[in-house]
Structure 1
Amino acid sequence: MAAVDTGAVSVFEAETAAARHELLVHCYRMLGSPDDAEDAVQETLERAWRAWDGFQHRSSVRTWLYRIATHVCLDRLRTRPAQATVGLDGIPESTHATAVVLPFPGGGDDLRLAFVVALQDLPATQRAVQLLRDVLRFSAIETAEALDTTVAAVKSALQRARARIARTAPRAEAVTEPTDAASRRALDTYVDAFTSGDVARLVDLLREDAVLELQPEGGVYEGKIACAAVLRSASGQGAWHMRPVVANGQPAAVVHRDGDAFGVAVLDVGPDGIARITVFADPSLVTRFGIQSARPGGGQPPAE
């Protein structure tokens, strides 16, 4: 077995380190799963290392890594079951089935759940073009080179992707950032009202057209009245404890029930109230957000 050139390894790690989080976010947008994204980044770096000697910096390291990461994600999407759909202008297309889009810890540009969910409805190549052109701001030529296609094909795919996103994504909401005082107050009030069983105050936070989505069962409740019925029922089922966090750049809470990990609730907060609550009943998400357990004795863990 040939000896590993430790000097080359050090150079490779130094030149790729800054891009690793960006690649993780990109792969998450492509795949809709933080776990799948982490695996894809690992494969990207393995492919990059094998090709490092031949790279010769003909482009920036960042651009080169994004090209590899996009192909890794496309390869992974091709292994998912295909779903036949009819695209714009009646053109047959196929998308690749994905599990429920799971929340991503922390913030960042273009990470909102509604956008990531809408991306999953795009055929894989359109998804890649949309992200490379509209999110990463690659030129049409750079995108064509990254995907081994033509500029004309990129322009066509981008036009169709933008139209489908506009048609299928929930309407854009005017939202405040989770670091803003108004957004944090809404989250703190939501946490306090839910954990104390104050349903009236909880419902007062909601817009009239608020939506409550429960994953993974997929239940969707539209309107304040429908949401209130579900929240009223849930608030009486056990002792709830929540810790404020940020998910997909949005205010969120890690949830425990009766001392056991329950999942994560993500809020879409607008200037006139909570527009959407997405609840992920998945205990494994609790540790992903860096929280191990509820505070002993029944108290709410302190906010970070």
Structure 2
Amino acid sequence: MDTSRPNDAELLALARGGDAAAFDLLVAGYRRELAAHCYRMLGSPHDAEDALQESLLSAWRGLAGFEGRSSLRTWLYRIATNACLRMSARRPRRLLSPDHGPARRDTADLGEPVTGPVWLEPWPDDVPADEPDPAASYLRREGVELAFVAALQHLPGTQRAVLILREVLEYSAVEVASLLDTTPASVNSALQRARKAVERRVPPVTQRAELAALGSDGARELVDAFVAAWERADVDAIVAMLADDARFTMPPLPAWFDGRDDVARFLTERVFATAWRLVPVRANGQPALACYPQNPDDGRFRLGAITVLSLRSGRITELGSFLDPELHHLFGLPRELPKENVDESGPER
């Protein structure tokens, strides 16, 4: 019995005949990159999943109209991009803390959580840093770095789509014009404006380049040293790893702290009032940490934040700590560290 997978042409014919399972197989290889595309457009994994589901439903319903003049992948990107443009027109743009309000100095008042579709959210990074597969390039590096995705949210929807399609996905101006039902001249004009706007908001050196300069050993050593210092509440050691202009943000709380001195004071006066255990993860192509504060009532360590580290010249420029529990399950992490894996020296890693 031949159990081999049908080729794409066979799957397309079956799907056009109403075979939903064939359609699922046909689009399965594109789901992750389409989700990443929607994330860049919308700044939220949750919104990206909504847009992806809407796109796949539209593709299923409109499959009879797919004439094959472009590749299936390009056709799916057209549908997904337009779904994101519709969604972005209905929802407020996602923000980082400095876009929401000024930094604070009072560590006693962090404000009330600002709920709703307000904050830029991190993207779980499940692609190895040295992944050789070209398709993986759509899911990592500059394309999903926090600063880049945050800068995209300041663009009008069409400019956002043009920049992503041209610069990240490397479609030609003619192809993008076809995707967006416009002209190549309009695409090129939008691209120039989008480039200028984004360049004003992103660091001159990408996180990919910063990590490459550190090397895999250097990056691992920095993260390990940070984890060790945090778990022993060694503020001086943490401060030594920070840039002078380091920031500490914590959405959905509106408070954030700007500058190494204010970050150090916040750590001393608030953060290390409890014990912590940290587990290294990755998000947005950057080092990140799953942060488990200790519950004072039962002594257990429960997941409280995903903190994404941004780097410059080997120092930490931002600790983006995301507190929303709805985000945490996206990283596939346990809500609580097993008791047998936690001792005085930290969690088992």
TM-score of Structure 1 vs Structure 2, range by shorter chain: 0.7 to 0.9
Partner of 2:105: none
| Paired position in structure 2 for 1:222 | 258
- The one-letter code of the counterpart of 1:286 is H
Is 1:105 the counterpart of 2:151? The answer is: no
Counterpart Cα distance in 2 of 1:129 and 1:244: 34
Partner in structure 1 of residue 328 of structure 2: 286
* Alpha-carbon distance between aligned partners in 2 of 1:80 and 1:257, rounded to the nearest angstrom: 33
Give 1:150 deviation, angstroms: 1.4
- State the 1:137 CA deviation: 0.6
- 2:67 paired residue number: 56
Q: Deviations over 1:20-42 (max 9, x none)?
A: 10001000000111011111111
Residue 81 of structure 1 deviates from its aligned partner by 4.8
Matched residues, number? 287
* In 2, Cα distance between equivalents of 1:27 and 1:74: 10
Whether 1:127 and 2:169 are equivalent positions in the alignment is no
Q: Distance in 2 between matches of 1:67 and 1:5?
A: 19
CA RMSD of aligned residues (A): 2.4
Question: Counterpart of 2:277?
Answer: 241
Instruction: Indicate the larger mover: 265-274 or 198-207.
Output: 265-274
Answering whether residue 230 of structure 2 is matched by residue 189 of structure 1, we say no
1:142 is aligned to 2:175: yes
* 3-state secondary structure, aligned to 2:290: strand
What is the aligned partner in structure 2 of residue 167 from structure 1? 200
Kept in 1: contact 2:233–2:272 (CA 8 A): yes
Distance 1:265 1:184 in 2: 16
| 8 Å CA contact 2:246, 2:317 repeated in 1 | yes
Q: Secondary structure at the match of 1:245?
A: strand
The partner residue of 2:211 within 160, 176, 180 is 176
Q: What letter matches 1:295 in structure 2? A: P
Q: 1:5 Cα deviation (Å)?
A: 7.5
Q: Given residue 23 of structure 1, which amino acid in structure 2 is its aligned partner?
A: L
| Residues 199 and 235, structure 1, Cα contact 8 Å, conserved in 2 | no
Deviation at 1:6, TM superposition (A): 7.5
Residue 18 in 1 paired to residue 10 in 2? no
Aligned pair partner of 1:68 in 74, 79, 83: 79
The residue identity in structure 1 corresponding to 2:216 is D
For the residues of structure 2 that align with 1:128 and 1:238, how far apart are their CA atoms? 44
Q: Which moved more, 1:232-241 or 1:171-180?
A: 171-180
CA drift of 1:8 comes to 3.7
Which deviates more from structure 2 when the two are superposed, residues 8-17 or residues 288-297? 8-17
SS at 2:277 equivalent:
strand
Please say if residues 93 and 153 of structure 2, whose CA atoms lie closer than 8 Å, have aligned partners that are also in contact. Answer: no
Aligned to 1:28: 39
Q: Measure how far apart 1:170 and its partner are.
A: 4.1
Going from structure 1 to structure 2, the CA distance change for 1:218 and 1:65 (only over 3 Å counts) comes to same
1:35 partner amino acid: H
1 CA distance for matches of 2:120 and 2:225? 26
Using structure 1 for the length normalisation, give the TM-score: 0.87
Provide the C-alpha distance between the structure 2 equivalents of 1:98 and 1:17, rounded to a whole number of angstroms.
28
The one-letter amino acid paired with 1:260 is R
Pairing partner for 1:9 from 20, 25, 42: 20
Aligned residue identity for 2:288: A
Q: Which has the higher contact order (CA 8 A, sep 6+)?
A: 2
Cα separation, 2, equivalents of 1:102 and 1:146: 27
Q: SS of 2:257's equivalent?
A: strand
Deviation at 1:14, TM superposition (A): 2.8
Contact 1:176 1:271 in 2 (8 A): no
Q: Which has the higher strand share?
A: 1
| Structure 2 gap segments, 5+ residues each | 1-14, 95-115, 128-139, 295-300
Q: For structure 1, list consecutive stretches of 5 or more residues without a partner in the other structure.
A: 84-96
Q: What displacement does 1:179 show? A: 7.9
Q: CA deviation at 1:113?
A: 0.4
Match of 2:303 in 1: 261
Q: Deviations over 1:209-248 (max 9, x none)?
A: 3222222224343322222112222442212121110000
Percent pairwise identity: 41
The one-letter amino acid of 2:211's match is T
Tell me the secondary structure at the aligned position of residue 210 of structure 2.
coil
Whether the 8 Å contact between 1:245 and 1:253 is mirrored in structure 2 is yes
2:210–2:314: 8 Å Cα contact kept in structure 1?
no
